[in-house]
């Protein structure tokens, strides 16, 4: 742990979030909301940490997604962890790139409030920055459990609908139609 980060933790210095807005269309969360959502994902590890957030348009999101993930479409959130040096880990977590247009479209399609969906995707992105992933069922269930806990602390319902790791229930009506 860096000396600066240790000093910040002892002094109770909160998570620092710097936000760059490359788009200004529609509702965008305030920096304080982004900070709160990120801190919920980090839990006790938030003190003294730093996070950079870029709110990007579809074209920028698409270009970054194509370059770093090989996927030629805009996406809701991209996570770029900070490079750790040879010494102690840096206070800098990394950068989240969020695309408000994609988040808005997804929230509408999923019948969720924009604020709840933003909170979920910030939590999701921050968890990627600290090493969580959803490559495989065990890792996905672990990440979902952490997301659900963080969102519950924020008063936001489980975005997955069923408990993490639990089999998704098939409604009795759908079961009957399969017979």
Over the stretch 50-89, which tens digit does the pLDDT of each residue have? 999 999 999 999 999 999 999 999 999 999 999 876 555 6
The rounded distance, in Å, linking the Cα atoms of 67 and 125 is 18
User: Could you tell me which residue, 177 or 125, shows the higher pLDDT?
Assistant: 125
User: Residue 6 pLDDT more than 70?
Assistant: no
- Looking at residue 152, which CATH number applies to its domain? 3.40.390.30
* DSSP assignments along 12-79, one per residue: T---EEEEEES---S----HHHHHHHHHHHHGGGGTT-EEEEEE--HHHHHHHHHHHH---S--SEEE
Rounded average pLDDT over 142-164: 89
Indicate if the pLDDT at residue 173 is higher than 80.
Answer: no
Domain span including residue 76: 3-178
Digit-coded pLDDT (tens) for 95-134? 999 999 999 999 999 999 999 999 999 999 999 999 999 9
User: How many domains would you assign to the chain?
Assistant: 1
- Cα separations (Å) of 161 from 112, 144, 145? 12, 11, 12
Percent of the chain's residues with pLDDT above 70 = 80
């Amino acid at each position: 742990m860096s000396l600066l980060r240790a000093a910040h933790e002892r002094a109770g210095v909160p998570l620092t979030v710097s936000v760059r807005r490359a788009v200004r269309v529609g509702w965008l969360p305030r920096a304080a909301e982004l900070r709160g959502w990120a801190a919920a994902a980090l839990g006790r590890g938030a003190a003294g940490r730093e996070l950079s957030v870029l709110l990007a348009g579809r074209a920028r999101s698409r270009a970054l997604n194509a370059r770093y993930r090989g996927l030629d479409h805009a996406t809701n959130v991209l996570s770029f962890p900070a490079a750790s040096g040879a010494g102690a880990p840096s206070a800098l977590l990394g950068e989240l790139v969020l695309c408000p247009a994609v988040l808005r479209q997804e929230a509408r399609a999923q019948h969720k409030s924009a604020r709840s969906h933003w909170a979920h995707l910030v939590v999701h992105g921050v968890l990627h920055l600290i090493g969580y992933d959803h490559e495989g069922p065990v890792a996905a269930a672990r990440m979902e459990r952490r997301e659900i806990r963080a969102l519950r602390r924020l008063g936001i319902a489980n975005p997955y609908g069923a408990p993490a790791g639990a089999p998704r229930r098939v409604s009795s009506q759908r079961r009957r139609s399969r017979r």
